[in-house]
Chain A
Amino acid sequence: MDSFWRILGEAVSLILAWDSDLIEIVGLSLRVTLSAVAISCVIGLPLGAAVGAFRFPGRTAVIVVLNALMGLPPVVVGLIAYLMLSAAGPLGPLELLYTPAAMIIAQTILVTPIVAALSRQVVEDCYREYAEQFDSLGVGPFDRVAALLWDARYSLLTVALAGFGRAVAEVGAVIIVGGNINHVTRVMTTTIALETSKGNLELALALGVVLLAIAVAVNGAVMTLRASAVRMAYA
Protein backbone atom coordinates (compact mmCIF):
# COMPACT_ATOMS: atom_id res chain seq x y z
CA MET A 1 0.00 0.00 0.00
CA ASP A 2 2.92 2.32 0.77
CA SER A 3 4.23 1.78 -2.72
CA PHE A 4 0.82 2.74 -4.18
CA TRP A 5 0.88 6.07 -2.36
CA ARG A 6 4.50 6.66 -3.35
CA ILE A 7 3.69 5.98 -7.02
CA LEU A 8 0.59 8.14 -6.78
CA GLY A 9 2.68 10.97 -5.33
CA GLU A 10 5.16 10.69 -8.18
CA ALA A 11 2.31 10.60 -10.67
CA VAL A 12 0.86 13.79 -9.24
CA SER A 13 4.34 15.39 -9.42
CA LEU A 14 4.49 14.47 -13.11
CA ILE A 15 1.13 16.13 -13.70
CA LEU A 16 2.08 19.23 -11.75
CA ALA A 17 5.39 19.42 -13.59
CA TRP A 18 3.31 19.73 -16.79
CA ASP A 19 5.36 16.91 -18.34
CA SER A 20 5.51 17.49 -22.11
CA ASP A 21 5.04 13.81 -23.01
CA LEU A 22 2.03 13.63 -20.76
CA ILE A 23 0.52 16.80 -22.23
CA GLU A 24 1.04 15.50 -25.76
CA ILE A 25 -0.62 12.19 -24.95
CA VAL A 26 -3.57 13.82 -23.19
CA GLY A 27 -3.98 16.32 -26.05
CA LEU A 28 -4.03 13.58 -28.70
CA SER A 29 -6.48 11.53 -26.65
CA LEU A 30 -8.87 14.43 -26.39
CA ARG A 31 -8.48 15.33 -30.05
CA VAL A 32 -9.23 11.76 -31.17
CA THR A 33 -12.08 11.19 -28.75
CA LEU A 34 -13.81 14.55 -29.19
CA SER A 35 -13.57 14.25 -32.99
CA ALA A 36 -15.03 10.75 -32.90
CA VAL A 37 -17.85 11.81 -30.57
CA ALA A 38 -18.63 14.86 -32.72
CA ILE A 39 -18.80 12.76 -35.91
CA SER A 40 -20.85 10.11 -34.10
CA CYS A 41 -23.31 12.78 -32.96
CA VAL A 42 -23.64 14.17 -36.50
CA ILE A 43 -24.50 10.67 -37.73
CA GLY A 44 -26.13 9.09 -34.68
CA LEU A 45 -28.41 11.86 -33.42
CA PRO A 46 -30.46 12.32 -36.61
CA LEU A 47 -30.45 8.56 -37.17
CA GLY A 48 -31.70 7.90 -33.64
CA ALA A 49 -34.25 10.72 -33.92
CA ALA A 50 -35.58 9.37 -37.23
CA VAL A 51 -35.93 5.85 -35.84
CA GLY A 52 -37.55 7.26 -32.69
CA ALA A 53 -40.02 9.46 -34.53
CA PHE A 54 -41.11 7.42 -37.53
CA ARG A 55 -42.84 4.09 -37.99
CA PHE A 56 -41.59 2.09 -40.95
CA PRO A 57 -41.30 -1.57 -41.94
CA GLY A 58 -38.31 -3.19 -40.24
CA ARG A 59 -38.12 -0.54 -37.51
CA THR A 60 -37.98 -3.12 -34.74
CA ALA A 61 -35.11 -4.89 -36.50
CA VAL A 62 -33.24 -1.57 -36.79
CA ILE A 63 -33.72 -0.95 -33.05
CA VAL A 64 -32.52 -4.46 -32.20
CA VAL A 65 -29.41 -4.00 -34.36
CA LEU A 66 -28.66 -0.56 -32.88
CA ASN A 67 -29.04 -1.86 -29.34
CA ALA A 68 -26.90 -4.89 -30.11
CA LEU A 69 -24.18 -2.73 -31.65
CA MET A 70 -23.94 -0.74 -28.41
CA GLY A 71 -22.08 -3.71 -26.99
CA LEU A 72 -19.56 -3.98 -29.84
CA PRO A 73 -16.23 -5.21 -28.45
CA PRO A 74 -13.59 -2.52 -29.16
CA VAL A 75 -11.09 -5.09 -30.42
CA VAL A 76 -13.59 -6.32 -33.00
CA VAL A 77 -14.20 -2.74 -34.13
CA GLY A 78 -10.44 -2.23 -34.27
CA LEU A 79 -10.07 -5.34 -36.37
CA ILE A 80 -12.83 -4.29 -38.79
CA ALA A 81 -11.35 -0.79 -39.11
CA TYR A 82 -7.90 -2.34 -39.59
CA LEU A 83 -9.17 -4.56 -42.42
CA MET A 84 -10.84 -1.59 -44.11
CA LEU A 85 -7.83 0.69 -43.75
CA SER A 86 -5.03 -1.79 -44.44
CA ALA A 87 -3.32 -1.64 -47.81
CA ALA A 88 -5.50 -4.45 -49.18
CA GLY A 89 -8.71 -3.00 -47.76
CA PRO A 90 -11.25 -0.78 -49.51
CA LEU A 91 -9.89 2.35 -47.80
CA GLY A 92 -6.25 1.33 -48.13
CA PRO A 93 -5.39 3.96 -50.77
CA LEU A 94 -6.16 6.66 -48.20
CA GLU A 95 -3.13 5.48 -46.19
CA LEU A 96 -4.78 6.25 -42.89
CA LEU A 97 -3.65 3.18 -40.95
CA TYR A 98 -1.52 4.06 -37.88
CA THR A 99 -2.64 7.68 -37.94
CA PRO A 100 -4.91 9.58 -35.55
CA ALA A 101 -7.51 9.63 -38.37
CA ALA A 102 -7.68 5.84 -38.25
CA MET A 103 -8.25 6.03 -34.50
CA ILE A 104 -11.04 8.55 -35.01
CA ILE A 105 -12.67 6.25 -37.57
CA ALA A 106 -12.47 3.26 -35.22
CA GLN A 107 -13.91 5.20 -32.30
CA THR A 108 -16.64 6.64 -34.52
CA ILE A 109 -17.69 3.09 -35.46
CA LEU A 110 -17.70 2.21 -31.78
CA VAL A 111 -19.61 5.26 -30.54
CA THR A 112 -22.16 5.91 -33.31
CA PRO A 113 -24.42 2.97 -32.37
CA ILE A 114 -24.38 4.12 -28.74
CA VAL A 115 -25.39 7.65 -29.70
CA ALA A 116 -28.03 6.41 -32.16
CA ALA A 117 -29.56 3.82 -29.82
CA LEU A 118 -29.71 6.09 -26.77
CA SER A 119 -30.96 9.10 -28.74
CA ARG A 120 -33.66 6.89 -30.26
CA GLN A 121 -34.95 6.19 -26.77
CA VAL A 122 -34.73 9.83 -25.66
CA VAL A 123 -36.43 11.12 -28.81
CA GLU A 124 -39.13 8.46 -28.71
CA ASP A 125 -40.07 9.50 -25.16
CA CYS A 126 -40.25 13.14 -26.26
CA TYR A 127 -42.13 12.27 -29.44
CA ARG A 128 -44.77 10.32 -27.53
CA GLU A 129 -45.76 13.65 -26.00
CA TYR A 130 -45.48 15.71 -29.19
CA ALA A 131 -46.81 13.32 -31.85
CA GLU A 132 -50.44 14.42 -31.95
CA GLN A 133 -49.54 18.11 -31.73
CA PHE A 134 -47.09 17.69 -34.62
CA ASP A 135 -49.74 15.89 -36.66
CA SER A 136 -52.22 18.63 -35.86
CA LEU A 137 -49.80 21.39 -36.84
CA GLY A 138 -48.83 19.55 -40.02
CA VAL A 139 -45.13 19.35 -39.13
CA GLY A 140 -43.14 17.73 -41.94
CA PRO A 141 -40.58 14.92 -41.43
CA PHE A 142 -37.49 17.13 -41.52
CA ASP A 143 -38.99 19.70 -39.13
CA ARG A 144 -40.06 16.88 -36.80
CA VAL A 145 -36.57 15.45 -36.49
CA ALA A 146 -35.01 18.91 -36.10
CA ALA A 147 -37.58 19.95 -33.46
CA LEU A 148 -37.19 16.74 -31.49
CA LEU A 149 -33.40 17.00 -31.51
CA TRP A 150 -33.60 20.61 -30.35
CA ASP A 151 -36.19 20.02 -27.65
CA ALA A 152 -34.39 16.94 -26.33
CA ARG A 153 -31.00 18.66 -26.53
CA TYR A 154 -30.25 18.55 -22.82
CA SER A 155 -31.11 14.88 -22.56
CA LEU A 156 -29.04 14.25 -25.68
CA LEU A 157 -26.06 15.85 -23.98
CA THR A 158 -26.12 12.88 -21.64
CA VAL A 159 -26.16 10.63 -24.70
CA ALA A 160 -23.07 12.37 -26.07
CA LEU A 161 -21.52 11.99 -22.64
CA ALA A 162 -22.10 8.24 -22.73
CA GLY A 163 -20.37 8.16 -26.12
CA PHE A 164 -17.50 10.22 -24.78
CA GLY A 165 -17.09 7.92 -21.81
CA ARG A 166 -16.98 4.88 -24.04
CA ALA A 167 -14.48 6.42 -26.47
CA VAL A 168 -12.08 8.02 -24.02
CA ALA A 169 -11.75 4.83 -21.98
CA GLU A 170 -11.36 2.26 -24.72
CA VAL A 171 -8.02 0.80 -25.66
CA GLY A 172 -8.67 -2.18 -27.94
CA ALA A 173 -9.73 -0.36 -31.12
CA VAL A 174 -7.20 2.49 -31.04
CA ILE A 175 -4.25 0.23 -30.31
CA ILE A 176 -5.05 -1.96 -33.34
CA VAL A 177 -5.54 0.84 -35.88
CA GLY A 178 -3.20 3.37 -34.23
CA GLY A 179 -0.36 1.07 -33.36
CA ASN A 180 0.54 3.06 -30.21
CA ILE A 181 3.38 4.85 -32.02
CA ASN A 182 5.25 7.30 -29.80
CA HIS A 183 4.48 10.96 -30.62
CA VAL A 184 2.08 9.85 -33.39
CA THR A 185 -0.75 7.69 -32.14
CA ARG A 186 -0.06 7.23 -28.46
CA VAL A 187 -3.12 8.09 -26.37
CA MET A 188 -3.84 7.80 -22.67
CA THR A 189 -5.27 4.30 -22.59
CA THR A 190 -2.67 2.75 -24.89
CA THR A 191 0.11 4.46 -22.95
CA ILE A 192 -1.26 3.21 -19.64
CA ALA A 193 -1.27 -0.35 -21.03
CA LEU A 194 2.25 0.01 -22.43
CA GLU A 195 3.86 1.78 -19.47
CA THR A 196 2.30 -0.65 -17.00
CA SER A 197 3.80 -3.59 -18.91
CA LYS A 198 7.17 -1.78 -18.89
CA GLY A 199 6.94 -1.15 -15.15
CA ASN A 200 6.78 2.64 -15.54
CA LEU A 201 3.92 2.87 -13.13
CA GLU A 202 4.30 6.60 -12.34
CA LEU A 203 3.46 7.72 -15.89
CA ALA A 204 0.73 5.09 -16.18
CA LEU A 205 -0.90 6.20 -12.96
CA ALA A 206 -0.49 9.89 -13.81
CA LEU A 207 -2.40 9.25 -17.04
CA GLY A 208 -4.96 7.26 -15.11
CA VAL A 209 -5.49 10.20 -12.78
CA VAL A 210 -5.84 12.60 -15.72
CA LEU A 211 -8.30 10.24 -17.41
CA LEU A 212 -10.43 10.06 -14.28
CA ALA A 213 -10.24 13.83 -13.79
CA ILE A 214 -11.39 14.43 -17.37
CA ALA A 215 -14.27 11.99 -16.94
CA VAL A 216 -15.35 13.65 -13.69
CA ALA A 217 -15.02 17.18 -15.14
CA VAL A 218 -17.00 16.41 -18.29
CA ASN A 219 -19.70 14.58 -16.31
CA GLY A 220 -19.90 17.43 -13.84
CA ALA A 221 -20.22 20.06 -16.56
CA VAL A 222 -22.95 18.16 -18.40
CA MET A 223 -24.89 17.40 -15.23
CA THR A 224 -24.73 21.06 -14.15
CA LEU A 225 -25.99 22.17 -17.55
CA ARG A 226 -28.77 19.59 -17.47
CA ALA A 227 -29.82 20.52 -13.96
CA SER A 228 -30.18 24.17 -14.94
CA ALA A 229 -32.18 23.10 -18.01
CA VAL A 230 -34.51 21.03 -15.82
CA ARG A 231 -35.06 24.05 -13.57
CA MET A 232 -36.03 26.06 -16.65
CA ALA A 233 -38.34 23.24 -17.83
CA TYR A 234 -36.33 22.95 -21.01
CA ALA A 235 -35.35 19.33 -20.34
Chain B
Amino acid sequence: MPEAAFHMAAPAPPMAADGPALLSARGLCFDAGGKRLIDGVDIDIRPGMRTVVMGANGAGKSLLLRLLHGLIRPTAGEVLWQGRPLDREGRLAQAMVFQRPVLLRRSVLANLRFALAVRGLPAAERRAREAEAMERSRLGDLANRPARVLSGGEQQRLAVVRALACRPRMLFLDEPTASLDPGSTHAIEQLVAEAHESGVAIVLVTHDIGQARRLGDDLVFLHGGRVVETGPASNVLDMPRSEAARAWLQGRLYLDTPAGPKA
Protein backbone atom coordinates (compact mmCIF):
# COMPACT_ATOMS: atom_id res chain seq x y z
CA MET B 1 0.00 0.00 0.00
CA PRO B 2 1.43 3.43 -0.89
CA GLU B 3 2.37 5.79 1.87
CA ALA B 4 -0.65 7.60 3.25
CA ALA B 5 -0.86 11.05 1.73
CA PHE B 6 -3.00 12.90 4.21
CA HIS B 7 -3.22 12.36 7.89
CA MET B 8 -6.53 12.33 9.63
CA ALA B 9 -7.63 14.19 12.73
CA ALA B 10 -9.37 10.99 13.79
CA PRO B 11 -8.24 8.23 11.46
CA ALA B 12 -10.85 5.85 10.19
CA PRO B 13 -9.82 2.50 8.78
CA PRO B 14 -9.89 2.40 5.00
CA MET B 15 -12.88 0.57 3.58
CA ALA B 16 -14.52 0.41 6.98
CA ALA B 17 -17.72 -1.11 5.76
CA ASP B 18 -19.38 -1.68 9.10
CA GLY B 19 -20.45 0.64 11.86
CA PRO B 20 -22.66 3.71 11.89
CA ALA B 21 -22.88 6.03 8.91
CA LEU B 22 -20.62 9.07 8.91
CA LEU B 23 -23.16 11.09 6.96
CA SER B 24 -26.82 10.36 6.39
CA ALA B 25 -29.62 12.05 4.50
CA ARG B 26 -33.15 11.46 5.72
CA GLY B 27 -36.11 12.42 3.54
CA LEU B 28 -34.04 15.14 1.92
CA CYS B 29 -36.05 17.45 -0.36
CA PHE B 30 -35.20 20.67 -2.07
CA ASP B 31 -37.60 22.90 -3.99
CA ALA B 32 -36.79 25.85 -6.21
CA GLY B 33 -38.95 27.82 -8.62
CA GLY B 34 -41.98 25.74 -7.68
CA LYS B 35 -40.23 22.51 -8.71
CA ARG B 36 -38.99 19.68 -6.52
CA LEU B 37 -35.38 19.22 -7.52
CA ILE B 38 -34.38 16.75 -4.80
CA ASP B 39 -37.14 14.43 -3.76
CA GLY B 40 -37.00 12.34 -0.60
CA VAL B 41 -33.37 11.24 -0.70
CA ASP B 42 -32.31 8.74 1.97
CA ILE B 43 -28.68 7.68 1.87
CA ASP B 44 -25.96 6.63 4.27
CA ILE B 45 -22.29 7.26 3.63
CA ARG B 46 -19.95 5.08 5.62
CA PRO B 47 -16.62 6.20 7.09
CA GLY B 48 -13.68 5.76 4.76
CA MET B 49 -15.81 4.60 1.84
CA ARG B 50 -15.93 6.00 -1.68
CA THR B 51 -19.42 6.82 -2.87
CA VAL B 52 -19.98 7.76 -6.48
CA VAL B 53 -23.06 9.78 -7.44
CA MET B 54 -24.16 9.39 -11.03
CA GLY B 55 -27.10 10.42 -13.16
CA ALA B 56 -28.02 12.44 -16.19
CA ASN B 57 -27.69 16.22 -16.37
CA GLY B 58 -30.29 17.85 -14.17
CA ALA B 59 -30.72 14.71 -12.04
CA GLY B 60 -29.72 16.76 -8.97
CA LYS B 61 -26.19 15.41 -8.37
CA SER B 62 -24.48 18.73 -7.66
CA LEU B 63 -27.47 19.93 -5.66
CA LEU B 64 -27.35 16.78 -3.54
CA LEU B 65 -23.65 17.34 -2.84
CA ARG B 66 -24.33 20.93 -1.74
CA LEU B 67 -27.15 19.75 0.53
CA LEU B 68 -24.97 17.03 2.07
CA HIS B 69 -22.16 19.55 2.63
CA GLY B 70 -24.58 22.03 4.21
CA LEU B 71 -24.04 24.74 1.62
CA ILE B 72 -27.78 25.00 1.08
CA ARG B 73 -30.67 24.26 3.39
CA PRO B 74 -33.08 21.48 2.46
CA THR B 75 -36.74 22.32 2.04
CA ALA B 76 -37.54 19.19 4.02
CA GLY B 77 -35.64 16.36 5.63
CA GLU B 78 -32.27 16.54 7.30
CA VAL B 79 -28.60 15.78 6.95
CA LEU B 80 -27.01 13.97 9.87
CA TRP B 81 -23.30 14.01 10.61
CA GLN B 82 -22.34 11.17 12.92
CA GLY B 83 -26.00 10.86 13.90
CA ARG B 84 -26.46 14.53 14.77
CA PRO B 85 -27.83 17.35 12.60
CA LEU B 86 -25.04 18.75 10.46
CA ASP B 87 -23.66 21.89 12.08
CA ARG B 88 -20.63 24.13 11.54
CA GLU B 89 -18.38 21.70 13.38
CA GLY B 90 -19.53 18.87 11.15
CA ARG B 91 -19.01 20.93 8.03
CA LEU B 92 -15.48 21.79 9.09
CA ALA B 93 -14.80 18.06 9.16
CA GLN B 94 -15.77 17.99 5.48
CA ALA B 95 -14.29 19.66 2.41
CA MET B 96 -15.53 20.20 -1.11
CA VAL B 97 -13.92 20.58 -4.51
CA PHE B 98 -16.11 22.21 -7.13
CA GLN B 99 -16.29 21.36 -10.81
CA ARG B 100 -14.76 24.72 -11.65
CA PRO B 101 -12.06 25.25 -9.03
CA VAL B 102 -12.62 28.39 -6.96
CA LEU B 103 -9.17 29.87 -6.46
CA LEU B 104 -8.43 33.15 -4.77
CA ARG B 105 -6.69 35.92 -6.70
CA ARG B 106 -3.43 35.05 -5.00
CA SER B 107 -0.43 32.82 -5.44
CA VAL B 108 -0.64 29.04 -5.25
CA LEU B 109 0.93 29.06 -1.79
CA ALA B 110 -1.29 31.91 -0.58
CA ASN B 111 -4.35 29.89 -1.56
CA LEU B 112 -3.20 27.05 0.65
CA ARG B 113 -2.20 29.44 3.41
CA PHE B 114 -5.63 31.09 3.42
CA ALA B 115 -7.51 27.81 3.80
CA LEU B 116 -5.32 26.83 6.75
CA ALA B 117 -5.23 30.28 8.35
CA VAL B 118 -9.03 30.57 8.57
CA ARG B 119 -9.02 27.36 10.60
CA GLY B 120 -6.84 29.08 13.18
CA LEU B 121 -4.01 26.57 12.97
CA PRO B 122 -0.70 27.46 14.63
CA ALA B 123 1.92 28.83 12.23
CA ALA B 124 4.22 25.82 12.54
CA GLU B 125 1.39 23.40 11.78
CA ARG B 126 0.32 25.54 8.82
CA ARG B 127 3.81 25.53 7.38
CA ALA B 128 4.09 21.76 7.75
CA ARG B 129 0.79 21.20 5.98
CA GLU B 130 1.66 23.70 3.25
CA ALA B 131 4.92 21.90 2.55
CA GLU B 132 3.18 18.54 2.50
CA ALA B 133 0.45 19.76 0.18
CA MET B 134 2.94 21.38 -2.20
CA GLU B 135 4.88 18.14 -2.37
CA ARG B 136 1.83 15.97 -2.92
CA SER B 137 0.41 18.25 -5.59
CA ARG B 138 3.76 18.56 -7.38
CA LEU B 139 3.11 22.29 -7.64
CA GLY B 140 6.22 23.25 -5.68
CA ASP B 141 7.82 25.02 -8.64
CA LEU B 142 4.70 27.08 -9.08
CA ALA B 143 4.28 28.05 -5.42
CA ASN B 144 4.60 31.76 -6.07
CA ARG B 145 2.76 31.78 -9.39
CA PRO B 146 -0.71 33.42 -9.45
CA ALA B 147 -3.11 30.50 -8.98
CA ARG B 148 -5.48 31.64 -11.68
CA VAL B 149 -2.90 31.47 -14.45
CA LEU B 150 -2.28 27.77 -13.86
CA SER B 151 -3.64 25.25 -16.35
CA GLY B 152 -7.06 23.72 -15.66
CA GLY B 153 -5.49 20.52 -14.37
CA GLU B 154 -3.05 22.36 -12.10
CA GLN B 155 -5.85 24.53 -10.74
CA GLN B 156 -7.95 21.49 -9.91
CA ARG B 157 -4.95 19.79 -8.30
CA LEU B 158 -4.45 22.84 -6.14
CA ALA B 159 -8.15 22.84 -5.22
CA VAL B 160 -7.93 19.17 -4.20
CA VAL B 161 -4.78 19.52 -2.09
CA ARG B 162 -6.15 22.71 -0.52
CA ALA B 163 -9.26 20.79 0.51
CA LEU B 164 -7.19 17.87 1.80
CA ALA B 165 -4.77 20.13 3.67
CA CYS B 166 -7.71 20.93 5.96
CA ARG B 167 -7.63 17.21 6.88
CA PRO B 168 -11.32 16.47 6.31
CA ARG B 169 -12.97 13.22 7.25
CA MET B 170 -15.11 13.47 4.15
CA LEU B 171 -14.29 14.97 0.77
CA PHE B 172 -16.97 15.96 -1.74
CA LEU B 173 -15.88 16.25 -5.35
CA ASP B 174 -18.26 17.63 -7.96
CA GLU B 175 -17.08 16.36 -11.34
CA PRO B 176 -13.48 17.29 -10.54
CA THR B 177 -12.08 15.96 -13.81
CA ALA B 178 -14.73 17.24 -16.20
CA SER B 179 -12.95 18.66 -19.26
CA LEU B 180 -9.48 17.64 -18.00
CA ASP B 181 -7.06 15.68 -20.16
CA PRO B 182 -6.13 12.07 -19.20
CA GLY B 183 -2.87 13.12 -17.50
CA SER B 184 -4.59 15.69 -15.32
CA THR B 185 -7.45 13.28 -14.61
CA HIS B 186 -4.95 10.66 -13.48
CA ALA B 187 -3.23 13.15 -11.16
CA ILE B 188 -6.56 14.06 -9.54
CA GLU B 189 -7.58 10.42 -9.21
CA GLN B 190 -4.21 9.67 -7.64
CA LEU B 191 -4.76 12.37 -5.00
CA VAL B 192 -8.27 11.08 -4.33
CA ALA B 193 -6.99 7.51 -4.02
CA GLU B 194 -4.25 8.58 -1.59
CA ALA B 195 -6.78 10.50 0.49
CA HIS B 196 -9.03 7.46 0.58
CA GLU B 197 -6.14 5.25 1.66
CA SER B 198 -5.57 7.52 4.61
CA GLY B 199 -9.20 7.12 5.64
CA VAL B 200 -11.01 10.07 4.06
CA ALA B 201 -14.54 9.22 2.95
CA ILE B 202 -15.04 10.27 -0.66
CA VAL B 203 -18.28 11.41 -2.28
CA LEU B 204 -17.70 11.91 -5.98
CA VAL B 205 -20.04 13.11 -8.69
CA THR B 206 -18.98 11.90 -12.10
CA HIS B 207 -20.34 11.24 -15.57
CA ASP B 208 -17.38 9.00 -16.35
CA ILE B 209 -18.27 5.31 -16.02
CA GLY B 210 -14.59 4.32 -16.05
CA GLN B 211 -13.86 6.74 -13.22
CA ALA B 212 -16.83 5.37 -11.28
CA ARG B 213 -15.34 1.88 -11.59
CA ARG B 214 -11.86 3.08 -10.62
CA LEU B 215 -12.90 5.20 -7.65
CA GLY B 216 -16.25 3.91 -6.47
CA ASP B 217 -17.08 1.50 -3.69
CA ASP B 218 -20.75 2.44 -3.52
CA LEU B 219 -22.83 4.05 -6.22
CA VAL B 220 -25.90 6.24 -5.91
CA PHE B 221 -27.86 6.72 -9.12
CA LEU B 222 -30.12 9.75 -9.28
CA HIS B 223 -32.93 10.42 -11.68
CA GLY B 224 -35.24 13.42 -11.47
CA GLY B 225 -33.98 14.27 -7.99
CA ARG B 226 -34.72 10.77 -6.66
CA VAL B 227 -32.38 7.95 -5.78
CA VAL B 228 -33.44 5.22 -8.19
CA GLU B 229 -30.66 2.77 -7.41
CA THR B 230 -27.87 2.28 -4.88
CA GLY B 231 -25.43 -0.50 -4.17
CA PRO B 232 -21.84 -1.57 -4.71
CA ALA B 233 -20.51 0.37 -7.70
CA SER B 234 -19.60 -2.73 -9.71
CA ASN B 235 -23.09 -4.21 -9.21
CA VAL B 236 -24.90 -1.09 -10.31
CA LEU B 237 -22.60 -0.55 -13.27
CA ASP B 238 -22.70 -4.18 -14.44
CA MET B 239 -26.25 -5.13 -13.54
CA PRO B 240 -28.37 -2.03 -13.14
CA ARG B 241 -31.82 -2.84 -11.82
CA SER B 242 -33.54 0.46 -12.52
CA GLU B 243 -34.63 1.37 -16.03
CA ALA B 244 -33.17 4.87 -15.68
CA ALA B 245 -29.71 3.56 -14.74
CA ARG B 246 -29.84 0.86 -17.39
CA ALA B 247 -30.79 3.34 -20.12
CA TRP B 248 -28.13 5.82 -19.02
CA LEU B 249 -25.38 3.23 -18.84
CA GLN B 250 -26.35 1.89 -22.26
CA GLY B 251 -26.33 5.37 -23.71
CA ARG B 252 -30.04 5.34 -24.47
CA LEU B 253 -32.22 8.40 -24.02
CA TYR B 254 -34.49 8.11 -21.02
CA LEU B 255 -37.01 10.90 -20.77
CA ASP B 256 -39.63 11.83 -18.23
CA THR B 257 -42.79 12.64 -20.19
CA PRO B 258 -46.21 13.66 -18.85
CA ALA B 259 -47.36 10.12 -19.66
CA GLY B 260 -44.48 8.65 -17.65
CA PRO B 261 -40.86 7.68 -18.29
CA LYS B 262 -39.94 6.82 -21.86
CA ALA B 263 -36.76 5.07 -22.96
Contact = CB atoms under 8 A, between A and B. Distances in A.
B69 A136 contact: yes
Interface in A199-235: 232-235
B106 A135 contact: no
Given A140-B118, A232-B146, A130 B92 contact: no
Given A130-B104, A136-B69, A143 B118 contact: yes
A135 B91 CA distance: 9
Given A129-B102, A132-B98, A234-B106, A139 B146 contact: no
B106 A138 contact: no
A151 B105 CA distance: 5
Contact of B106 (A140, A143, A151): A151
B102 A130 contact: yes
A137 to B, nearest CB: 5
Contacts of A147: 104, 114
Nearest to B96: A136
B149 interface: yes
Contact of A233 (B66, B91, B94, B149): B149
Nearest to A129: B102
Given A130-B104, A133-B102, A151-B105, A139 B148 contact: no
Nearest to A139: B118
B118 A233 contact: no
A107 to B, nearest CB: 31
B71 A135 contact: yes
B105 A233 contact: yes
Nearest to B117: A143
B91 A138 contact: yes
Interface residues of B, number: 26
Contacts of B149: 232-233
B70 to A, nearest CB: 8
A136 B88 contact: no
Interface centre among B71, B95, B104 (most CB of A within 10 A): B104
Interface in A125-155: 129-130, 132-133, 135-140, 143, 147, 150-152
Interface string A92-136: 000000000000000000000000000000000000011011011
Query: How many A residues are at the interface, by size bracket?
Result: 10 to 19
A138 B71 contact: no
Contacts of A152: 105
Contacts of B117: 143
A138 B119 contact: yes
A232 B105 CA distance: 9
B105 A234 contact: yes
Given A132-B71, A233-B146, A233-B149, A138 B88 contact: yes
Contacts of A129: 102
Contact of B102 (A132, A150, A232, A235): A132
Interface string B58-92: 00000000100111000000000000000010011
B48 to A, nearest CB: 21
Contacts of B105: 151-152, 233-235
B245 interface: no
Given A132-B102, A234-B106, A137 B146 contact: no
22 contacts: A129-B102, A132-B66, A132-B71, A132-B102, A136-B95, A136-B96, A137-B95, A137-B115, A137-B119, A137-B166, A138-B88, A138-B118, A139-B118, A143-B117, A147-B104, A147-B114, A150-B106, A151-B105, A151-B106, A233-B148, A234-B148, A235-B105
Interface of A: 129-130, 132-133, 135-140, 143, 147, 150-152, 232-235
Interface of B: 66, 69-71, 88, 91-92, 94-96, 98, 102, 104-106, 114-115, 117-119, 146-149, 163, 166
Given A132-B96, A143-B117, 11 more contacts: A130-B102, A133-B98, A136-B69, A136-B71, A136-B91, A137-B118, A138-B92, A138-B118, A139-B118, A147-B114, A234-B106
Ranked nearest first, the 7 interchain pairs of A and B with the lowest CB-CB distance are: A233-B148, A133-B102, A151-B105, A136-B96, A138-B92, A233-B149, A233-B146
